[in-house]
């Protein structure tokens, strides 16, 4: 790969200093003094790495970044900004920048950032998004390919990532992909979930003896946070963290950011934080499930995972890939889906997303023999649920041969869903059947109204 850098800098003295240092380090440097000139030069030379000032005389630097990314999504763009413009640097990262340099920065910081950018560009050239295989993901639709590209854009940065999406859409797979695409696989990847833990246990597991007020203090017993140093710490369902723990995490993130910008301190290589939520991030903030001071430190780079029902024909492709893998595990011969099953799969709402699809196929493969999955192998209620999602019509016996069984066994529609999701749907259905009255629904369910309010408020 060409070691050719495009430098877009309008200040003549800085342009001279940066270009001289880079050339002395062995790089070829193309020079541009404004945004338009830089875009033209980039289109001519297709530089794998771009260094640019965010404040240009003729164009908004963010617009320049978007144009460069549009021309080549694989280009690594490093932005230069002042310490008082960190928010602009964050906007640049969201627009597709690889990393940012805060003035003043040392030659070592410049060289290490450029080296990381070239390394990232070199290691990604062999990725073919058309194959539909990407770090554990399966899918080749335009929506999935855009998700892959977003992962590739955010992975090289050290900025936090907030992943949102329904249950079963692959948020954990996304976090792992960010880690694997960002550098050597030998770096640690730690996952933490506090959803089922009491507040004290959350704190004990995440931080242990780590002193959040003094991150420089060494400890003997390594917490999950400390074991993730040099790598990625993935926090699933961040809104389930205790508010006091959220404040401690915000404090650590603030101190680690200050630490990174302090040139005279030893680098302890704090972990990069990747978090996720099944709820919309701004809804978490509005409801108070996440503290404001933590939200704005985590919500810098964002990825939204698409539900299965939005993926069109990718549903069939994903199902066939999963079917082949499950058949191999169960030593069965299943290879494909019948045409009517494909239609039903396309029409189903898939509230449990990939997890529900995988569980459904596993049940079929384990129960039946054959090469093709047929309509008769589907669980009772699935056919009617698919018809209902597609047409929103009343189901009768002509539409669904399992109509009577569905009426008497409606619970089968919930096969493949997690227990918490089943409970949530049952509560909402009971409230609806009682005219929206929570007290009446509570009486039917035999619980206190406060129990329903609590369960509904949980993201």
Taking only the tens place, the pLDDT of each residue in 193-233 is 998 899 999 999 999 866 555 555 555 568 899 999 988 99
Question: Which one of 414, 430, 449 terminates a domain?
Answer: 414
**β-bridge partners, 272:** 232
- 430 shares a domain with 409: no
- 321 shares a domain with 286: no
Report, as an integer, the average pLDDT of 135-142: 87
| Residue in the structure block whose two tokens are 């797979």 | 173
Q: How much is the pLDDT for 364?
A: 94
Query: 425: domain range?
Result: 419-457
pTM, two decimals, is 0.60
Question: Which one of 267, 290, 306 terminates a domain?
Answer: 306
- 276 shares a domain with 179: yes
Question: Which one of 76, 102, 123 terminates a domain?
Answer: 123
Across 77-91, 187-201, 309-323, 435-449, least confident range: 435-449
Domain with residue 358: its CATH number is 1.10.8.60
- 344 shares a domain with 213: no
Q: pLDDT category, 266, cuts 50, 70, 90?
A: very low
- 269 shares a domain with 149: yes
Domain total of the chain: 4
Taking only the tens place, the pLDDT of each residue in 298-329 is 999 999 999 999 998 899 999 999 999 999 99
- 339 shares a domain with 438: no
Domain with residue 425: its CATH number is 1.10.10
| Gap between the Cα atoms of 34 and 40, Å rounded | 10
- 235 shares a domain with 95: no
- 315 shares a domain with 301: no
Domain with residue 159: its CATH number is 3.40.50.300
- 104 shares a domain with 178: no
Domain with residue 102: its CATH number is 3.40.50.2300
- 258 shares a domain with 206: yes
Per DSSP, helices labelled H in 303-352 are 314-330, 339-347
Q: Residue 212 region, left (φ>0) first, then alpha (ψ -120 to 50), else beta?
A: alpha
Kindly report the number of other CB atoms within 10 A of residue 32's CB atom: 22
3-state secondary structure string, 412-450? HHHCCCCHHHHHHHHHHHHHHHCCCCHHHHHHHHCCCHH
Give yes or no for a contact between 47 and 30, defined as CB atoms under 8 angstroms apart. yes
- 300 shares a domain with 316: no
Across 142-146, 154-158, 191-195, 443-447, least confident range: 443-447
CA neighbor of 164 nearest in space, from 289, 297, 307: 307
Q: pLDDT category, 397, cuts 50, 70, 90?
A: very low
- 441 shares a domain with 369: no
């Amino acid at each position: 790969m060409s070691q050719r850098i495009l430098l877009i800098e309008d200040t003549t003295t800085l342009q001279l200093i940066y270009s001289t240092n880079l050339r002395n380090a062995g790089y070829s440097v193309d020079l541009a003094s404004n945004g338009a000139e830089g875009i033209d030069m980039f289109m001519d030379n297709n530089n794998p790495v771009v260094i640019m000032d965010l404040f240009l005389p003729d164009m908004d630097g963010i617009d320049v970044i978007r144009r460069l990314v549009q021309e080549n999504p694989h280009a690594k763009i490093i932005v230069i900004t002042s310490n008082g413009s960190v928010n602009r640097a964050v906007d640049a990262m969201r627009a597709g920048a690889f990393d940012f340099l805060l003035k003043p920065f040392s030659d070592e910081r410049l060289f290490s950032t450029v080296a990381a950018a070239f390394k990232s560009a070199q290691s990604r050239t062999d990725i073919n998004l058309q194959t539909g295989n990407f770090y554990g993901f399966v899918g080749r639709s335009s929506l999935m390919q855009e998700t892959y590209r977003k992962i590739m854009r955010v992975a090289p940065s050290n900025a936090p990532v907030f992943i949102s999406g329904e249950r079963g859409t692959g948020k954990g797979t996304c976090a792992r992909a960010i880690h694997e695409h960002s550098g050597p696989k030998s770096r640690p990847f730690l996952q933490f979930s506090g959803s089922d833990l009491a507040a004290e246990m959350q704190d004990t597991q995440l931080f242990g003896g780590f002193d959040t007020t003094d991150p420089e203090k060494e400890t003997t017993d390594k917490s999950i946070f400390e074991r993730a140093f040099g790598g990625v710490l993935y926090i699933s369902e961040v809104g389930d963290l205790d508010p006091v723990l959220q404040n401690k995490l915000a404090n650590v993130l603030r101190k680690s950011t200050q630490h990174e910008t302090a040139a005279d301190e030893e680098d302890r290589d704090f972990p990069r934080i990747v978090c996720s939520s099944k709820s919309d991030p701004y809804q978490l903030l509005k409801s108070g499930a996440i503290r404001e001071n933590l939200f704005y430190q985590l919500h810098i780079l964002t990825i939204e995972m698409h539900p299965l029902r939005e993926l069109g024909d990718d549903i069939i492709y994903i199902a066939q890939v999963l079917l082949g893998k499950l058949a191999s595990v169960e030593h069965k011969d299943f290879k494909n889906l019948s045409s009517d099953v494909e239609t039903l799969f396309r029409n189903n709402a898939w509230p449990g997303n990939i997890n529900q699809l995988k569980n459904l196929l596993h049940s079929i493969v384990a129960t039946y023999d054959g090469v093709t999955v047929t309509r008769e192998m589907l669980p009772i209620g699935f056919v009617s649920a698919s018809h209902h999602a597609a047409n929103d019509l009343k189901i009768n016996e002509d539409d669904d041969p399992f109509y009577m069984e569905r009426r008497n066994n409606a619970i089968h529609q919930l096969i493949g869903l997690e227990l918490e999701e089943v409970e949530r749907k049952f509560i909402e259905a009971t409230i609806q059947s009682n005219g929206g009255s929570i007290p009446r629904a509570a009486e039917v369910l035999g619980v206190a109204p406060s129990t329903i309010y609590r369960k509904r408020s949980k993201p």
